[in-house]
């Protein structure tokens, strides 16, 4: 696994294509959903052949039935189950077979090793999570051990747990880490920085603005992981700040709205196939995030392709009256750039009305009317024209069932 990230491009492509063939053969033979004519494309000879397969979205899997995407040889008690949901209420139960899950866990070790020596097997790690995590056998031996702190605890309780552990590394969703920073006093941050060497983020889009905010706040480098409950580990940051695709487990395509792959360096939508999965294979699964893909040289020496995540999920935007879209990153940028705003969330109803909910930063002595006026002006300036929006007060950011921040939700269909 450690050697794989240094294979030459030809070797990587051959190994990936072989993995995709095996995954397709398995799905066609064992998984009911893939038995139709649409998946009868013969043996893919290249990636263009594989791209002839239809794309899958979460809604497609739910409409056909999750069981039809599962190999009947696997039972629920023999797999690792991850449940994903958003504010839409669409809940999908993803099954991961033992071998694929073990590879995913090993990728965590590779991810930590890519942090340029800032995290060691004996380092103390605090993991903020909305639910408990199992302890692996090697963690019981003191290797890659972690202290799990539930993110639903009051912020002062979370700070106390964090400082008690004297961590070398912290891991959590960006929205939870920002909340933690706001809850820490200057003296506590000073104490934390005496031992802290790295912060790892996961599961949510990490925009450049949020990365900068976390770097400044914690005073250490930030290392991101790109993952999804349906596919688990997809990509990881190196010490150069580049997000490398784990090409020894997933095939990532960047496609246009019709599902056709676009050239490297061209922005599009992210489609992923986890070709090691056997319990519930999802072939050409549309994640919806927007990104560009690069296969050129990285200064870290890794040859895995790199992703630049651009604007978040494809459905995380609002549509202005002139038809232009504004994505989640813009609203996050507004919250970061407007003093006194801690967080924001945006909702667009079916009629197209846009409402921005601002969560004031309790540390700032500013009236809400001032915050609303500055936020509106920032967005209008960034968009290059005014547009109608309602700005309201909120006490906290709305989180999904998985504990993530869903910044933008639009019900508007143009």
CA within 13 Å, CB half, 186:
1
Residue partners of 338: CB distance under 8 A and separation at least 6: 371, 374, 375, 378
pLDDT of residue 313: 54
Burial of 38 (0-12, 13-18, 19+ CB in 10 A): exposed
pLDDT of residue 290: 87
CB–CB of 316/329 below 8 Å? no
Which CATH architecture fits 119-220? Answer: 3-Layer(aba) Sandwich (3.40)
Question: Helix 174-183 and helix 155-165: axis angle, to 10°?
Answer: 90
Q: Which two tokens stand for residue 40?
A: 């009868």
Q: pLDDT tens digits for the chain (414 residues)? A: 899 999 999 999 999 999 999 999 999 999 999 998 999 999 999 999 999 999 999 889 989 999 999 999 999 999 998 877 543 445 688 999 999 999 999 998 899 999 999 999 899 999 988 677 778 888 888 888 899 998 767 788 889 999 999 999 999 988 778 878 988 999 999 999 999 999 999 877 787 878 998 999 999 999 999 998 899 999 999 999 999 999 999 999 999 988 899 999 999 999 999 999 999 999 999 987 889 999 989 999 999 999 998 755 545 678 888 887 776 667 776 877 788 887 788 999 999 999 999 988 877 788 999 999 999 998 888 777 888 999 999 887 776 655 566 778 888 876
pLDDT of residue 164: 96
SS3 of residue 249 by DSSP: coil
Of 237, 191, 247, 255, give the one whose Cα is nearest residue 218. Answer: 191
H or E stretch at 200: strand 198-201
Domain residue ranges in the chain: 4-102+227-313, 119-220, 317-410
CB–CB of 271/284 below 8 Å? yes
pLDDT of residue 344: 82
Residue partners of 323: CB distance under 8 A and separation at least 6: 414
Question: Whole-angstrom Cα distance, residue 310 to residue 268?
Answer: 9
SS3 of residue 182 by DSSP: helix
SS3 of residue 66 by DSSP: helix
Query: Which residues make beta-bridge pairs with 404?
Result: none
Predicted model pTM:
0.78
Which CATH architecture fits 317-410? Answer: 2-Layer Sandwich (3.30)
Q: What is the CATH T-level fold of the domain 4-102+227-313, as seen in this structure?
A: Rossmann fold (3.40.50)
pLDDT of residue 320: 85
Q: Which two tokens stand for residue 24?
A: 């397709």
pLDDT of residue 90: 59
Q: Which two tokens stand for residue 230?
A: 């349906």
Q: Do domains 4-102+227-313 and 119-220 have the same CATH topology?
A: yes
Residue partners of 40: CB distance under 8 A and separation at least 6: 28
């Amino acid at each position: 696994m450690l050697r794989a990230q240094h294979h030459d491009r030809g070797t990587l492509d051959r190994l990936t294509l072989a993995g995709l063939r095996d995954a397709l053969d398995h799905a066609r033979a064992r998984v009911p959903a893939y038995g139709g004519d649409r998946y009868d494309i013969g043996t893919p000879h290249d990636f263009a052949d594989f791209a002839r397969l239809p794309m899958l979205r979460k809604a497609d899997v739910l409409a056909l039935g999750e069981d039809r995407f599962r190999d009947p040889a696997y039972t629920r008690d023999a797999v690792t189950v991850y449940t994903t949901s958003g504010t839409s209420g669409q809940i999908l139960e993803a099954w991961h077979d033992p071998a694929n899950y073990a590879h995913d866990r090993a990728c965590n070790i590779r991810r930590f090793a890519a942090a340029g020596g800032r995290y060691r097997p004996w380092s103390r790690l605090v993991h903020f999570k909305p639910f408990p995590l199992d302890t692996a056998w090697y963690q019981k031996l003191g290797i890659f051990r972690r202290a799990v702190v539930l993110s639903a605890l009051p912020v002062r309780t979370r700070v106390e747990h964090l400082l008690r552990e004297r961590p070398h590394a912290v891991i959590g969703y960006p929205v939870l880490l920002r909340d933690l920073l706001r809850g820490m006093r200057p003296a506590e941050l000073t104490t934390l920085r005496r031992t802290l060497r790295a912060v790892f983020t996961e599961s949510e889009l990490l925009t450049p603005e949020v990365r900068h905010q976390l770097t400044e706040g914690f005073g250490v480098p930030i290392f991101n992981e790109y993952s999804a409950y349906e596919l688990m580990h997809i990509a990881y940051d190196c010490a150069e700040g580049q997000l490398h695709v784990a090409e020894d487990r997933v095939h990532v395509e960047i496609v246009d709205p019709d599902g056709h792959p676009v050239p490297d360096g061209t922005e599009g939508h992210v489609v992923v196939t986890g070709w090691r999965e056997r319990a519930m294979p999802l072939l050409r699964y549309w994640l919806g995030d927007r990104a560009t893909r690069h296969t050129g040289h990285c200064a870290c020496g890794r040859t895995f392709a790199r992703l630049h995540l651009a604007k978040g999920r494809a459905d995380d935007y609002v549509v202005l009256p002139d038809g232009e879209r504004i994505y989640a990153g813009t609203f996050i940028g507004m919250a970061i750039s407007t003093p006194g705003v801690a967080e924001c969330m945006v909702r667009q109803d079916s009629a197209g009305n846009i409402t921005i909910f601002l969560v004031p930063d309790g540390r700032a002595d500013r009236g809400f009317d001032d915050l609303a006026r500055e936020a509106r002006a920032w967005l209008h300036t960034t968009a290059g024209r005014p547009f109608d929006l309602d700005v309201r007060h909120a006490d906290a950011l709305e989180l999904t069932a998985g504990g993530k921040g869903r910044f933008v939700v639009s019900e508007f269909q143009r």
